[in-house]
């Protein structure tokens, strides 16, 4: 699915040169409208400035925390000067990582994917059947949260690094719904215990909603995402999960999406997603 270019992108395209000359000749910075000091952050007179760590998340490079680490390591430059934490940048600035220019203007991408069993939720390229290779999206994206290799169902991917932390923050109580099958039949007391919370790895899980779907199957809706949480909850109560399938994340459903298929969120899904994490605009 092709995305419509933004007004800024159309304007840049019409000029035929979306980046300043300094992108092609890194030593030429004399024409950039930049004020800098030896010890302080770079300042500009551009009306739309963002922090350097946010630049990296908006362009799908990494999370803000990882961006801060890159800045602290000295790997990032702004207009040829080593960046500092707190620096702000605008469209006239040339940002590099390890000497490579990171271009401006990538539109945010939000994808939903029906992960099959056997695919590993990782961005590490050396891992066999990693989720990035399976999808084969032409731009850099990364998964929001995780879904076990032995589990299937819905997972979101994006180049919006801020979204990862915003969705995973437990205080927002974002719902995730699963269909679970276990190795033997259960009674109502099992579901009651699951609903009230189960102590795993020394900490009790948050209360959740459950509903029986048969002798061995049930539905569960969580508002937290601890590692292998459902499997560990069941194990703590004497059961083993034989099948785990995520059907929903917040308002986004896997329904209608074939196994192994992916597509970009609809405008409405995207709007609701961004509103749900506290952004007034999508």
Q: Looking at residue 135, what is its pLDDT? A: 96
Catalytic entry in 68, 148, 192, 267: 148
- The answer to whether 54 touches 98, Cβ cutoff 8 Å, is no
Q: Looking at residue 124, what is its pLDDT? A: 87
- The answer to whether 79 touches 29, Cβ cutoff 8 Å, is yes
- The answer to whether 239 touches 216, Cβ cutoff 8 Å, is no
Average pLDDT over residues 82-99: 90
pLDDT digits 0-9 by tens, 176-188? 999 999 999 999 9
Q: Residue 193 and residue 210: Cα distance in Å, rounded?
A: 10
pTM of the model: 0.65
Q: Looking at residue 171, what is its pLDDT? A: 57
Number of separate helices (H) and strands (E) present in the chain? 9, 17
Residue 97 pLDDT > 50: yes
- Is 183 labeled as catalytic in the residue annotation? no
Per the model's pLDDT, the better-predicted residue between 240 and 62 turns out to be 240
Nearest to 87 by CA among 27, 23, 126, 44: 44
Nearest to 209 by CA among 217, 221, 199, 192: 221
pLDDT digits 0-9 by tens, 154-200? 999 998 877 877 777 655 688 999 999 999 999 999 999 999 999 99
Residue 219 pLDDT > 70: yes
- The answer to whether 225 touches 145, Cβ cutoff 8 Å, is yes
Tokens, residue 167:
């969705």
- The answer to whether 182 touches 219, Cβ cutoff 8 Å, is no
Task: Considering only the C-alpha atoms of the chain, give the largest distance between any 2 of them, rounded to a whole number of Å.
Answer: 74
Average pLDDT over residues 234-246: 98
Q: Residue 270 and residue 276: Cα distance in Å, rounded?
A: 10
Q: Looking at residue 8, what is its pLDDT? A: 46
Region class of 120: left (phi > 0), else alpha (psi between -120 and 50), else beta = beta
Residue 39 pLDDT > 60: no
3-state class of 243 per DSSP?
Answer: strand
Which domains does the chain carry? 7-101 (3.10.290.10), 110-276 (3.30.2350.10)
Task: Determine phi and psi for 240, rounding to 5 degrees.
Answer: -120, 130
User: Any idea which residue has 């986004």 for tokens?
Assistant: 252
Q: Residue 269 and residue 253: Cα distance in Å, rounded?
A: 10
């Amino acid at each position: 699915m092709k995305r419509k270019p933004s007004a800024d992108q159309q304007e840049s395209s019409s000029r035929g040169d979306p980046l300043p000359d300094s992108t092609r000749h890194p030593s030429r910075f004399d024409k950039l409208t930049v004020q800098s000091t030896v010890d302080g952050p770079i300042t500009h007179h551009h009306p739309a400035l963002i922090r350097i760590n946010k630049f990296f998340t908006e362009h799908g490079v990494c999370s803000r925390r990882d961006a801060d680490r890159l800045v602290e390591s000295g790997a990032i430059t702004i207009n040829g000067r080593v960046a500092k934490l707190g620096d702000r940048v605008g469209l006239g600035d040339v940002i590099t990582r390890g000497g490579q220019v990171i271009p401006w203007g990538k539109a945010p991408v939000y994808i939903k994917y029906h992960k099959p069993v056997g695919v590993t939720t990782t961005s590490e390229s050396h891992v066999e059947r990693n989720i990035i290779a399976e999808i084969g999206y032409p731009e850099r994206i990364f998964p929001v949260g995780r879904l076990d290799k032995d589990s299937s169902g819905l997972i979101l991917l994006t180049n919006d690094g801020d979204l990862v932390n915003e969705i995973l923050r437990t205080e927002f109580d974002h719902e995730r719904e699963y269909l679970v099958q276990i190795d033997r039949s259960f009674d109502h007391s099992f579901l009651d215990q699951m609903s009230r919370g189960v102590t795993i790895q020394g900490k009790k899980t948050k209360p959740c909603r459950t509903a029986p779907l048969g002798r061995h199957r049930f539905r569960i809706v969580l508002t937290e995402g601890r590692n292998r949480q459902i499997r560990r909850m069941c194990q703590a109560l004497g059961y083993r999960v034989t099948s785990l399938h995520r059907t929903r994340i917040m308002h986004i459903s896997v329904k209608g999406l074939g196994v192994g298929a992916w597509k970009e969120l609809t405008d409405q899904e995207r709007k609701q997603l961004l509103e749900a994490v506290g952004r007034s605009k999508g």
